[in-house]
Amino acid sequence: MELLELSGTALASLIRRGEVSSREVVAAHIAQIESVNPVLNAVVADRFEAALAEADEADARRGGDVGPLNGVPCTIKECFALTGMPNASGLVARAGVRAVSDAAAVARLRAAGAIPMGVTNTSELCMWMETNNRLYGRTNNPYDPRRIVGGSSGGEGAIIGSGASPLGIGSDVGGSIRMPAFFNGVFGHKPTGGLIPNTGQYPAIETASGSRYLTTGPLCRRAEDLMPLVRILAGPDGVDPGCQVLPLSDPAAVDLSGVRVLTVPDDGLLSVCAELRQAQADAASSLAERGARIEEIRFPRLKSATDIWSAMLGEASTVPFRDSLYRGEDRTRTALLRWMLGGGVYTLPAILLAGLERLTDAFPARAERFIAEGRALRRALDEALGADGLLLYPSHPTPAPRHYVPLTRPISWVYTAILNVMELPVTQVPLGLDAKGMPLGVQVVGAHGADHRTIAAALALETDLGGWVPPWHTKSSR
């Protein structure tokens, strides 16, 4: 199992030195996909033959001028264009759509030498916290198939958590990188808004502000891959209106003994379970042992996080979700009736979101009030973080719940979502397993542009608390 536990950086080094071939590495991960995917349903379309051919090409290049990930396998969230592969985002109406070029982030990853093995499942139009749709079906958690993988990058989280891919690309407008990373026990990074271009995703947000709320970023099983991937992916592409040049510092230069760590126990509305509270406390203690100063703090406006996120995202969106879902014609009532009768091509969360969107549109003054609240919260967070601060914040009220439970607790995702409209960098860090063998974790939040600082904390917490625990380790110990 060793090849299935190493970082992409370590695999690239082995390949570069000739200690293992890219073909061996790619073949090992393909074999793991073939082993776990019948249960997980995470990879929804593969390109195994092409990947093995590209591995042979990578081996032939070895010793020459190669990219930093030459010969390393990866996976790609299906909402990103990957030449020749499906690009439906779980929407039945797009079942026949195939990408004719690579999305900006995909092109950069491939230019660095990474080899995509396939594309992974999403929630319908990437807008729900459970990865399930009528085109590809439901994705299951590698630690317990009865539980969710999160959304919308749930296929990525599940396949990386299963050891079948060392790294991949996800997108995040409400926690869609961080929730799957959390529920599946791996690392995920939502970069500073505007750092990485979103070009080539479906659906997309066309405004500059919306493109800073929607972020593209990496998921990976080892923290040492985070900053190299961010560097590979970062920088304007000339198309994304929200992407800008932002300086990237080195996590290795961060002295954690000079960092203030603010720990926020909850949002004041949704209580967090005892095991996650303890995991966050353990993370704070670990950083304190490295010299960080710890302070518990609360932000009262977090109680309004759901309304703030909805209002600010709505202001930044030019195309309503219902138009993307129903292809320009609002069919919410018909879609709901067909779902109730056991038919139709839409999932219930998508139908409900399309209906709720109209209620939001009907009260513009209310939306304006929460936009103002959001801007005030952003100022408060900026002031609290300052030039040397980090913030620990729960990822979700509980570890991965059973399938369909999120429908009974429909705003739990707000723990991640609020940070999108704050445009702050956030690293999701795994913190071991709970008593039922499910992953624990915490969000590490930094000031605008301080991606290196959140990643430095992730590296330290991985060293101190263990990081990703491969599912086969947990099963062998039970």
Query: Which residues sit opposite 262 in a β-bridge?
Result: 295, 391
Q: Rounded to the nearest 5°, which phi and psi values hold at 89?
A: 55, 35
Q: What pLDDT does residue 478 have?
A: 43
Q: What is the pLDDT of residue 42?
A: 98
Instruction: Show the tokens assigned to 178.
Output: 């961080």
Catalytic annotation on 77? Answer: yes
Burial class of residue 187, CB neighbours in 10 A (0-12, 13-18, 19+): buried
Q: Are strands 389-393 and 260-263 parallel, antiparallel or unpaired?
A: parallel
What separation in angstroms does the CA of 25 have from each of 17, 32, 132, 348, 359? 14, 11, 30, 40, 51
453-463: average pLDDT: 98
Least Cα distance to 118 among 54, 198, 209 occurs for 54
Lowest-pLDDT range of 55-59, 82-86, 341-345, 453-457: 341-345
**Per-residue model confidence (pLDDT) at position 475:** 61
The reported pLDDT for the residue numbered 342 is 86
Topology, domain 2-304+370-477: Amidase signature (AS) enzymes (3.90.1300)
Q: Is the pLDDT of residue 451 over 80?
A: yes
Which residues does residue 72 pair with via DSSP β-bridges, in sequence order? none
Residues 6+ apart with CB under 8 A from 219: 153, 156, 157, 160, 167, 168, 169, 170, 177, 180, 181, 186, 187, 188
Q: How confident is the model at residue 61 (pLDDT cuts 50, 70, 90)?
A: very high
Q: Which two tokens stand for residue 381?
A: 């967070």
| Residue 190 designated active-site | no
Minimum mean pLDDT range among 35-49, 106-120, 341-355, 388-402: 341-355
The percent of residues above 90 in pLDDT, for the chain, comes to 87
pLDDT tens digits, one per residue of 268-313 = 999 999 999 999 999 999 999 999 999 999 999 999 999 999 999 9
* pLDDT at residue number 353: 83
Q: Which three-class secondary structure state does DSSP give residue 154?
A: helix
What is the chain's alpha carbon radius of gyration, rounded to the nearest angstrom?
Answer: 21
Which entry of 22, 89, 123, 152 is annotated as an active-site residue? 152
C-alpha closest to that of 115 among 184, 24, 189? 24
pLDDT at residue 330 in the model: 60
Q: Is 324 a catalytic residue?
A: no
Q: Active-site residue among 77, 171, 324, 412?
A: 77
Catalytic residue among 7, 165, 176, 211: 176
Cβ burial of 118 (10 Å; 0-12, 13-18, 19+) is buried
Residue 265's identity, in one-letter code, is P
Model pLDDT for residues 336-387, shown as the tens digit of each residue:
888 888 888 999 888 888 887 777 777 888 999 999 999 999 999 999 999 9
The residue-averaged pLDDT of 161-178 equals 98
Rounded mean pLDDT of the chain? 95
| 92: DSSP letter | G
Q: Cα separation of 419 and 174, whole Å?
A: 8
pLDDT on residue 17 = 96
Q: Tell the residue number behind the tokens 């929607």, with chain if given.
A: 214
Q: Is 250's pLDDT higher than 70?
A: yes
**Residue 323 pLDDT > 90, yes or no?**
no
- Sequence-distant (6+) residues with CB within 8 A of 477 are none
Q: Which helix (H) or strand (E) is 445 found in, with range?
A: strand 439-446
73 — pLDDT class (breaks 50, 70, 90): very high
Lowest-confidence segment of 110-124, 210-224, 348-362, 381-395 by average pLDDT: 348-362
Q: Vertex 317, ends 313 and 319: CA angle to 5°?
A: 140
